Each structure stands twice: as C-alpha cells, then as structure tokens.
Amino acid sequence: MDMFKKAKSKLAAVPTVNLCFLPTPFEKMQNLSELFKGINLFFKRDDQTGLAMGGNKARKLEFIMPDVLRQQAKSIITWGGFHSNWCRQVAAAAKKYHIKPILLLLKKPGSRNVFNGNYLLSSLMAADIRIVEVDKDQKLMELKGVKQIIDPVFHEEENQGNKPYIASIGGSLLEGSMKRPWGAIGYVNAFFELLQQAAAQQVTIDVVVVATGSAGTHAGLLAGAKLFSPGTKVVGISVSEDKNTLDRYIKNIADEIFVELEIDLKTCAQDIIVFDEYIKEGYGVLNKEVADSIRLVAEREGVLLDPVYTGKAMVGLVDLVKKGYFKDRENVVFFHTGGTPSLFPYGSELAGFRQN
C-alpha cells in the first residue's frame, strides 16, 4: 500500500463524531484577485463549519470528543482568552454529549468583562465559566503556564465525582488528557477535503495561508500537504507566539500525526513557514492594519474576518502579496478559521479606526 492510500485508510479509521457541516465552501476571491493582479486568491470557509456559529475548532472537536467519551469524562476543563473561540466551541460540543464544560477565561489586568461575543455565547450554553485575571506577560499556551489555575478545578471536579478531561488550549498540544494529536488530525482531513474541491474546479493549490495561534491547525494542514500534495506550501501568520516557539510546536504536532498514521515521514525546518512580524502589539490587540484588512475583505468580498485571528492573518497575506512573496499566477488559499463573534466586543475600536 503506498503512502497516500495508507494515510487515507488510517484517517478513515480514526473515531469521529459529527459536529460540522462538511465540506465547507471553497471559493475564489474574485474581487481581491482583480485588485492584486497576478495572483489568484481563494477562501476555504471554515468559518462555516456550523457548530455554535462555526470556526476551525469544530473540526478538531470531531476527533477530540471521541477521546473524551472513551475516557468516560464527565467534565471538560480548558482555557483561553476572555473571548475565546475555542472555549465557545468546546462548550457547544460538550453540551451535545451531556458533559460539563468548564471554561477558564483569562483576562489581562484592567480589561473589561464585556458581555457579548464568545463570552455571551458560552454563557447562553450554560458553561461553567471562571474568569481569571493573569499577568500580562504570563505564558498561557502550554499547560505548565496555567497549572496553578487548572489544578484546583481539576481536584474540585474529582472530589465531586466528575471525572475531568483537561483539553489543551485550541485542542493543539499533546498534554493534559489528550495524549495523541486528535485536534490536528482534523486538519489533515481538511487539507484532503480542500484538494478534492480544488481538483473539481481544476485548480492546483500552490500555497495555503492560515492564522497560526496554538499551532494545531497549521500542523494538521502541513502534515496533509506533505502526505497528499508535497508541492503545496503552508504559510502561517502568527497571531500570538514568536516564530521559534511556533516552529517547535508545529514540528512536534505534525510529527506526532505521522506516528499516529504510521507513516514514515518527518517535518524538517524548510517545511515550516511562519511569519511573526504581524503580531505587532500582541495577541488580541486590534490595530489600524487589522481594522483595514477586515474592512477590505468585507467591502470587496462580503466576507467577515475577525480582529484576533483572520484579520491579522489577512494583514500578513496582503503584505506578502505586495512584497512579491508569491509567484506570478500562483493559486493561494486563505484558510478562514472563523471567529466572527469576536467582531462585536471590538465594535467601538473598529469604529474608532474608521473615524481616524
């Protein structure tokens, strides 16, 4: 059995649950392609996955939830930013299976508890929400950075007889209760789905551009590219961590995917492409460039980006186009990972940038 067939067979055997509307749309950015002449731009619309207003985390949770059920967990403990897309979709997936979602929403000192966006949606789903103030310089991506926050909740659940499942932020890193790369495997599947859609439209995909946060989506797409389309580059626009940190995360997760699928592959340094210069003021901080990118796509394509992930990734994509990073007539796919509810908490800031 060749590697392609073996990977497909192994993927098909991984347990899943049905949380998404798939396949998500694959469509050309006709107006932006005309604006940036010489390049063909496309969307892969994973903002349309459907679960609790959609987003990329739903694909991950289709593979993570069977692990939660296999471990017979009664609660899921996870964490994220105050308006976390991940936490919102964890709440929705957990509720479908009568599992208690416990969301630790981390906020910086002085920031406001705005009751809208993802916080509102998670509240409507009756998630157990704990708001925790953290130092502005505290590292939150890895479990060890939030252990002092997670541990008391974990023991509280154990003492109440609710077997807890600790899910890493974004369903990406292999830690807590998730020992295998379930979340990222969802994006190996997503890459194969994209290839099938592109082939039906007689499009060869040269580059995929994606917002890179907790690294699982990027790692899954990269593993998918190496398995099914080695000529396709996956370019990550960091919204959170520095390039060295993300390179390490992506390599570790992608290599674990190959182990899981029993494929003799490894990622190497030249496979991993991450630009971290667009983080600017930091994770979740809206600036004029991000506000402009959101408006550009909304006005030209009628598609809504968000201020935290896709808006910042679009800043990177547009800048790379202008710098001539992409070759003439290349087909470039922007993986829209969702996050639309985050527009609303940033409404006044978006309005302010418009006035300026």
Residue pLDDT, tens place only, 122-159: 999 999 999 999 987 788 899 999 999 999 999 999 99
Answer yes or no: do 128 and 248 share one domain.
Answer: no
pLDDT band at 3, cuts 50/70/90? confident
Same domain, 188 and 315: yes
Note whether 44 and 91 are same-domain residues. Answer: no
Q: CA-to-CA distance for 273 and 298, rounded, in angstroms?
A: 27
Task: Kindly state the average pLDDT of the residues 207-227.
Answer: 98
Statement to judge: residues 165 and 201 lie in one domain: no
pTM for the predicted model, two decimal places: 0.97
Mean pLDDT of the 230-258 span:
97
Is residue 13 domain-resident? Answer: yes
Model confidence at 355, pLDDT cuts 50, 70, 90, reads low
Both 52 and 146 in a single domain?
A: no
28-69: pLDDT as tens digits:
999 999 999 989 999 999 999 999 999 999 999 999 999 999
CATH (domain of 133)? 3.40.50.1100
Average pLDDT over the chain, rounded to an integer? 95
pLDDT range class, residue 113, cuts 50, 70, 90: confident
Q: Is the distance from CB of 78 to CB of 118 less than 8 angstroms?
A: no
What single-letter amino acid sits at 170? G
| 318 located within any domain | yes
Distance CA 75, CA 70 (A): 13
Residue 347 and residue 222 share a domain: yes
Angstrom distance (rounded) from CA 113 to CA 82: 8
Whether 187 is covered by a domain: the verdict is yes
pLDDT confidence band for 257 (50 / 70 / 90): very high
336 lies in some domain: yes
Has residue 67 been placed in a domain?
no
| 3-class secondary-structure state, position 201 | coil
Q: Are residues 194 and 307 in the same domain?
A: yes
Is the same domain home to 231 and 279? Answer: yes
SS3 130: strand
Residue with tokens 């590219």: 225
User: Which of 142, 171, 200 is where one domain is finished?
Assistant: 171
Give mean pLDDT, residues 15-29.
Answer: 98
- Please say if the pLDDT value at position 4 is more than 90: no
Last residue of a domain, one of 171, 205, 234: 171
The domain containing residue 105 runs over which residues? 57-62+72-171
- Residue finishing a domain among 136, 171, 206: 171
Looking at the structure, do residues 115 and 217 belong to the same domain, yes or no?
A: no
Judged on CB neighbours under 10 Å (0-12, 13-18, 19+), 150 is buried
Q: Based on the domain organization, do 233 and 191 belong to the same domain?
A: yes
User: Above 70 in pLDDT, residue 335?
Assistant: yes
For β-strands 164-166 and 75-81, DSSP reports them as parallel
Residue 356 has pLDDT above 60, yes or no: no
- Contact residues for 73 (Cβ-Cβ < 8 A; gap 6+): 99, 163, 164, 165, 177
Residue 94 lies in a domain: yes
Q: Give CA–CA dist 314/146, Å, rounded.
A: 30
Give the active site residues. Answer: 84
Percent of the residues in the chain that have a pLDDT greater than 90, as a whole number: 89
pLDDT at 1 over 60: no
- pLDDT for 135 equals 86
Are residues 44 and 87 part of one domain? no
pLDDT of 263-275, one tens digit each? 999 999 999 999 9
Domain membership of residue 27 (yes or no) is yes
Burial of 268 (0-12, 13-18, 19+ CB in 10 A): exposed
Considering the domain boundaries, does residue 293 fall inside one? Answer: yes
Tell me, yes or no, whether 96 and 126 share the same domain. yes
Q: 318: how many CB neighbours lie within 10 A of its CB? A: 19
Q: Which amino acid is at 292?
A: D
What are the tens digits of pLDDT across the range 159-216? 999 999 999 999 999 999 999 999 999 999 999 999 999 999 999 999 999 999 999 9
What would the pLDDT profile of 295-332 be if each residue is shown by its tens digit? 999 999 999 999 999 999 999 999 999 999 999 999 99
Number of structural domains the chain divides into = 2
